[in-house]
Amino acid sequence: MKSIIIAVLVAGSILPTYSQTLSAYTDYREYFYVFDDGYSQMLEYHPVQSFRVGGACLAYIDNRGVFKIFFRNKKITLEKYRVTNYFSTNNLLVYTLENQLIVFDRGKRMTLVYHPAYYAFGDSIVAFYDEASSYLKVYYDGEIREVEAGLSGRPMKSMVVGDNLFAYVNQADYFKIFYHGKLIEESYRPKNYKVSGNTVAYITEAELEFKIFYKGTTRNVENFEPQSYKAGEDMVAYIDETGSFKVFYKGEIIELSSFEPEFYRIKENMLVYSESDFFKVFTDGESYTLANYIPEKYYVHRNVVAFIDEQDQLVGFYKGSLETISYEKLNNIEVYGNAVSFEIGVHTNKTYYKGKVYE
């Protein structure tokens, strides 16, 4: 990826969006299809070289190396020449073409910087260092904004980008957060920090206190450093100093268990974890038990958890409901947004979407 450092956290929709529920697959003839909100459409007669599924568009490089997208029910040629790297988030398409960093957002293509030395992005934001001007800049809500100047090189020592915000430590060791178009000086350099949608969690360097910035307000959550913590969309899960498993969700602290889980993982708005060998998920402020064992394979995306049960059946959880999706032997599974795409038999592709299986 040239000599660039890319930090990527891709999750939830924050800005107004034209988000679609998309997935993609290749059938037994090697025709390339898109699944869009309950309907499949053939896009290419030949196998594509690669593709990325996002919330706003499906991006792919076709058999000839042409860069195309499926956006608002239309196939569009975006670049006639092969792009170097490309990433499709819930709202944005970010890619590099020769020496340009480009964003495609809500139907508009914009070059952000030439010769990108550093860039990172989330669902609706791209932060990047412009070496020519020595400025840390951000693309947000259709505009490029200057964030901070570097007097002798990059203005940031570290930086992490979330869905709709980013946090960084500058050369003077001040910790800052860019949120909703404003730059907030948060504190002196933290010991460590993590970000996601609307949230920044961090541990202070001196006092080792655990703090969470949420929608513009910072709260001292724990007076002692947690054993571990992970950030998600509108939530932060953590194990406190006593071993209790807790989640900060939309401003409220909820104790999920008085003892440490075997594992926990956050993907966008879904927190999956174990409790006494039970497989559980926390979403929308509620906990649900998915199985009385921990599955070997499971897949998590926005609003969806899919896993292979003990009978080798595909089980799906969506919006509070748990059901068996397929009883047949599976060749492949992919989860894109709210859709579970899976293959059975000889290249037979099916998609589970909003409680229904489409062929």
Residues 301-346 have pLDDT tens digits of 988 999 999 999 999 999 899 999 999 989 989 888 888 999 998 8
Q: End-to-end distance of the chain based on CA atoms, in angstroms?
A: 37
Residues 236-254 have pLDDT tens digits of 999 999 999 999 999 999 9
- What is the spatial distance between Cα 161 and Cα 124, in angstroms, rounded to a whole number? 10
Q: Indicate whether 28 belongs to any domain.
A: yes
Overall average pLDDT of the 165-172 stretch: 96
Domain boundary among 152, 170, 188: 188
Mean pLDDT of the chain: 91
CB 92 within 8 A of CB 101: no
Q: Indicate whether 63 belongs to any domain.
A: yes
Q: Indicate whether 248 belongs to any domain.
A: no
Q: Indicate whether 98 belongs to any domain.
A: yes
Backbone angles phi, psi at 33, to 5 degrees: -120, 155
Residues 183-238 have pLDDT tens digits of 999 989 999 999 999 999 999 999 999 999 999 999 999 999 999 999 999 999 99
pLDDT the model gives residue 82: 83
pLDDT the model gives residue 14: 41
Q: Indicate whether 335 belongs to any domain.
A: yes
For 178-200, b/e burial (b = at least 16 CB within 10 A) is: bbeeebbebbebbeebbbbbbbb
Q: Indicate whether 225 belongs to any domain.
A: no
CB 194 within 8 A of CB 209: no
State which residues form the domain around 338. 281-359
Domain boundary among 188, 203, 224: 188
pLDDT the model gives residue 16: 44
CB 63 within 8 A of CB 48: yes
Amino acid at 231: A
> Does residue 19 carry a pLDDT above 80?
no
> Does residue 54 carry a pLDDT above 90?
yes
- What is the spatial distance between Cα 35 and Cα 22, in angstroms, rounded to a whole number? 5
Q: Indicate whether 243 belongs to any domain.
A: no
- Looking at residue 292, which CATH number applies to its domain? 2.40.10
Amino acid at 131: E
The number of domains in the chain is 2
Q: Indicate whether 112 belongs to any domain.
A: yes
Strand runs (DSSP E) across 196-309, as ranges?
199-204, 210-214, 217-222, 228-232, 235-239, 245-249, 252-257, 264-267, 270-275, 278-283, 286-291, 298-301, 304-308
